[in-house]
Amino acid sequence: MRQRFCCKTGEMINKYEFDKEEMDNTLVAKWRGENGHDELSINDLEHWFNKQILTLYYQRNGRPDPEYKIDAEYEVLADDDVPDHKRAELVSELEADGINVEAMTDDFVSYSTIYRHFSECIDAEKGSDEDDTESDWEREGIDYAKETFRERVTKSLRVLSNKDRLAGYENSELEFSASLRCDHCPTSVPVETAIERGFVCATHNDLDIAPDASSVEVVSSFLA
Ligand SMILES: [Zn+2]
Ligand SMILES: [Zn+2]
């Protein structure tokens, strides 16, 4: 009977025989920067978790696993910007050491899996009273939504491409962004920019956060 897991993170914790409670506690402590851990973003946690899997493979196959080597070789495997020949070189080296690279990298978790594991499986929150940390948590929510959207769109496009219904997909890159458009004028800003500066439109914000910017716009519209 196939055991049910909370998500892929839980499944991998079980598969690689990490202690579930200890791993969950470590992930959350690193996320929050507690218990002497440096604070990591969800993105960093994804890489940290996958490096635990990589390290296990190295240990089981008698391949030296100093941290700098794990860091460098994980990057070659996980970073899309690494040239194919460089990755192929490492893959054949690992396979010569007896590591099934495809099976291993299939087990790597994604950013959104870690996020979901926190929010839906173990009900972990960033849990700090500081405003900064809270807004980081909201920002990570936006990153998560974008990442999930990207994963789903990419998956559908790849299927269409494989069915020869989307020519040129292999030579293209998915580009999208989320913007906020003001209801009262043509101002449109990327979500990130709006969060960064704390308002959508300099002219039409009730809070009057940026009086300078709004007066500049008023002046220039008079001149126009
Ligand atoms: Zn989970
Ligand atoms: Zn406006």
User: CA neighbours within 13 Å on the CB side: how many for 179?
Assistant: 11
Location of structure tokens 């007066």: 215
Among all bound ligands, the one having the nearest atom to the CA of 118 is 1
Among all bound ligands, the one having the nearest atom to the CA of 113 is 1
Among all bound ligands, the one having the nearest atom to the CA of 217 is 2
The pLDDT value recorded for residue 224 is 32
Q: Looking at this protein, which amino acid is placed at residue 46?
A: E
On the question of pLDDT at 85 being above 90, the answer is yes
Please indicate whether residue 135 or residue 2 has the higher confidence score (pLDDT).
135
CB count, 10 Å around CB of 46?
22
The pLDDT value recorded for residue 114 is 92
Q: Looking at this protein, which amino acid is placed at residue 107?
A: D
Among all bound ligands, the one having the nearest atom to the CA of 10 is 1
Can you tell me the distance from the alpha carbon of 49 to that of 117, in angstroms, rounded to the nearest whole number? 12
pLDDT band at 128 (very low <50, low <70, confident <90, very high): low
Can you tell me the distance from the alpha carbon of 65 to that of 67, in angstroms, rounded to the nearest whole number? 6
On the question of pLDDT at 221 being above 60, the answer is no
Among all bound ligands, the one having the nearest atom to the CA of 210 is 2
Q: How far is the CA of 213 from the centre of ligand 1 (A)?
A: 45
pLDDT band at 3 (very low <50, low <70, confident <90, very high): low
Q: How far is the CA of 114 from the centre of ligand 1 (A)?
A: 8
Among all bound ligands, the one having the nearest atom to the CA of 214 is 2
Query: What are 128-135's contacts with CB under 8 Å, separation 24+?
Result: 128/32, 135/195
Mean pLDDT of 157-163: 89
159 contact partners, CB below 8 Å, separation of at least 6: none
Mean pLDDT of 117-140: 72
Q: How far is the CA of 177 from the centre of ligand 1 (A)?
A: 28
Q: How far is the CA of 50 from the centre of ligand 1 (A)?
A: 15
Please indicate whether residue 12 or residue 144 has the higher confidence score (pLDDT).
12
